[in-house]
Each structure stands twice: as C-alpha cells, then as structure tokens.
C-alpha cells in the first residue's frame, strides 16, 4: 500500500521506488501482484507518466486512510514518531528559522529523520513527494491546507558603497535615480516592486533594475556588492547588518511583515509526522517570529 500510494503521488515507478529504497523491478512486480490479487487495473502506465484508473483512485483514498490509521496505532503502542519527514522551504527560512531550533525537535523524536529540500519556487507537494512546505509571503489560491506560523519583519537595505554613490534616501520620494535588485516572482515571472508604509498605507515603487534574480541568496550577495537596494526579512541580513556589509535605510517606512505559513496537501489524511512537525512550528517558532495566528 505504501508503494502504491507513493507511485500515485509521484506519478512514477522509478521515483517511488527510490523514495522507498527498493529497485524499480521490485516495485513493478509488487504492483502487478497487487492488481492480480484485486482483479482490477489500478494504474495506467505511459512512457512519461503513471496515473491511477478510476478504481485505482478509489483504492488510493482508502489506502491513505488505512496507512494513517496504522501509523496512529503504531504510535499508540510504541509512543514514537518515526520515519522520514520531507519538508520544503526557501533556503533563508531553512537556515534562519528551522535549523536553530531543529536539534531540540529531533531530540524529542529520536526515530524521526527530517529531510529539507531548499527551493524558492512553488512546488507540487504531492507530485514531488514532499510532506509539507514552509513558505513566506501572501498565499494565493491553493487546494492545500495552510496554517500561519507567524510574521517576519521586512527591512530595506543597501551597501555603504552603493549609498556613497547614490545617496541615502530619507523617504520613498527620494528614490528617484536609485536602482533595485529585481527579485523575480515565481508566480508572475516579473520583478517584485519595493513596498513602503507611508502614512499608514502600503505604497509600491518599482525602481529600475540592472540585475534581476530568482534566488534570495543571489539577491543578498548582489546587494553586498553595491548593485542596488534590496528588501527582505531582517532575519536574512542579521550578519550583514552586524558586520556593516549592509545598512538599513528608510526605517520609518518599512514594508508590511511577511507572513510565514506551513502548507500540506488537503487531498490526503494528515500523517502523524506532519501533524507533530506543524504543531511544533506553530507553538515553538511562531512566538519567535512575530507570533502565531490561527
């Protein structure tokens, strides 16, 4: 059942076999035996993709519930949260938010392994075999369940060299003639404008950008080299601000805080591993980054 569920989620025999650390032939043989035993075809196979038949989709839903019940039963007997939890997160959130507190979480669950996949893009959790994902920013419409962890304070920064060449703006009105490092949105494929709070209202300003990037670390590295103004959560720039590599500007016009949420698929029953991790994120990390909300 675990193999069948993973094949449906991943859309691939090879990917599912790799996830469960078995060979592709073993996976193929096991599914054939399952189909023969049930007397129905569960999966439609093409050269590029595998998808469930109508009977396979119904069986998939039942398998999800059964496997979740088995996990809960095992937990009731052993008292352990075990297995591999696959978490997706942008690199800066993984390093600044997850890693500092993760040792204590792992110590509480010695039979659990956490696998972190770093990505700035929006991922298909089910298709890519990820249990849950931590994201920063306002969420769009999604079939996933989202729970907000907290909010990250956003700031505007530039290097001393850049400010020496372009001047230090005292208000957003002074930004004419300045450059921003264009951070390209994975949703729109266009650079995001800078945001400022002016008289209680949010104002967007799109400055010219000679450099456009899609990775947060590249954006920060470009700012250190004096290539433009950048906006990001303060947590990303703690070391740069302390060393003087970057300087905060327009402090009284800061952008609105960035909400941090954890998302997981609504199409499947929540596993115990994900449930424990999500509750830990909200109860432990939420207060550290601006407070958790419902």
Please report, for the domain that includes residue 62, its CATH number. 1.10.10.10
Same domain, 235 and 262: no
What is the rounded CA–CA span in Å between residue 140 and residue 133?
A: 14
Same domain, 245 and 185: yes
The CB density around residue 78, as the number of other CB atoms within 10 Å, is: 10
Same domain, 110 and 89: yes
Look at the block and give the residue holding tokens 């950008």.
Answer: 209
Q: Please give the tally of structural domains in the chain.
A: 3
- E-assigned strands of 34-136? 43-45, 50-52, 83-89, 112-118, 132-136
Same domain, 142 and 159: no
Using an 8 Å Cβ cutoff, are 137 and 258 in contact? yes
- Note if the pTM is more than 0.85: no
Same domain, 146 and 269: yes
**Any domain includes 285:** yes
Answer whether residue 293 shows pLDDT above 50: no
Higher per-residue confidence, 268 vs 183? 183
Using an 8 Å Cβ cutoff, are 236 and 96 in contact? yes
C-alpha torsion angle, residues 158, 161, 165, 169 (rounded to 10): 30
**Any domain includes 218:** yes
**Any domain includes 210:** yes
Please give the pLDDT value at position 164. Answer: 96
Same domain, 221 and 244: yes
Same domain, 199 and 117: no
What is the rounded CA–CA span in Å between residue 135 and residue 121?
A: 10
Instruction: Of 211, 240, 213, 235, give the one whose Cα is nearest residue 224.
Output: 240
Rounded to 5 degrees, φ, ψ at 46 are -120, 180
**Any domain includes 294:** no
Please give the pLDDT value at position 292. Answer: 43
pLDDT digits (tens, 9 = 90+) for 125-179: 656 667 888 887 776 656 778 888 888 889 999 999 999 999 999 999 999 999 9
**Any domain includes 121:** yes
What is the rounded CA–CA span in Å between residue 28 and residue 251?
A: 59
Alpha carbon of 113 to those of 82, 268, 269: distances in Å?
7, 21, 20
Which residue among 78, 112, 131 closes a domain? 78
**Any domain includes 33:** yes
Same domain, 161 and 222: yes
pLDDT digits (tens, 9 = 90+) for 45-92: 876 788 899 899 889 888 887 887 777 676 656 667 777 888 888 877
Domain that holds residue 182: 154-253
CATH classification at residue 269: 3.40.190.10
**Any domain includes 178:** yes
Same domain, 189 and 270: no
Same domain, 267 and 146: yes
Q: What is the DSSP letter of 175?
A: G
What is the rounded CA–CA span in Å between residue 179 and residue 208?
A: 5
**Any domain includes 199:** yes
Alpha carbon of 225 to those of 41, 53, 159: distances in Å?
59, 54, 7
Same domain, 124 and 148: yes
pLDDT digits (tens, 9 = 90+) for 225-273: 999 999 988 888 888 999 999 999 999 999 988 888 888 877 656 677 8
Same domain, 223 and 239: yes
């Amino acid at each position: 059942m675990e193999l069948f569920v993973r094949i449906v989620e991943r859309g691939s025999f090879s990917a599912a076999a790799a996830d469960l650390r078995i060979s592709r032939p073993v996976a193929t043989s096991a599914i054939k035996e399952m189909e023969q035993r049930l007397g129905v075809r569960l999966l439609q196979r093409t050269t590029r993709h595998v998808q469930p038949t109508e009977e396979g989709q119904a069986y998939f839903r039942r398998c999800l519930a059964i496997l979740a019940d088995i996990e809960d039963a095992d937990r009731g007997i052993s008292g352990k949260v075990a297995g591999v939890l696959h978490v997706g997160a942008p690199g800066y959130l993984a390093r600044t938010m997850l890693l500092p507190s993760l040792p204590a979480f792992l110590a509480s669950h010695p039979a659990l392994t956490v696998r972190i996949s770093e990505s700035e893009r929006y991922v298909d959790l089910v298709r890519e075999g990820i249990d849950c994902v931590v994201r920063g920013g306002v969420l769009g419409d999604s079939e996933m369940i989202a729970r907000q962890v907290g909010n990250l304070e956003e700031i505007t920064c530039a290097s001393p060299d850049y400010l020496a060449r372009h001047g230090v703006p005292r208000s957003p009105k002074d930004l004419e003639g300045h450059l921003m490092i264009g951070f390209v949105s994975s949703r729109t494929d266009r650079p995001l404008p800078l945001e400022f709070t002016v008289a209680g209202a949010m104002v967007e300003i799109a400055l010219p950008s000679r450099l456009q990037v899609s990775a947060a670390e590249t954006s920060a590295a470009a700012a250190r080299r004096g290539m433009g103004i950048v906006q990001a959560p303060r947590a990303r720039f703690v070391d740069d601000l302390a060393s003087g590599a970057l300087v905060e500007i327009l402090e009284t016009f800061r952008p609105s805080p960035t909400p941090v949420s954890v998302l997981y698929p609504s199409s499947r029953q929540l596993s115990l591993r994900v449930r424990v991790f999500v509750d830990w994120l909200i109860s432990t990390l939420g207060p550290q980054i601006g407070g958790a909300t419902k």
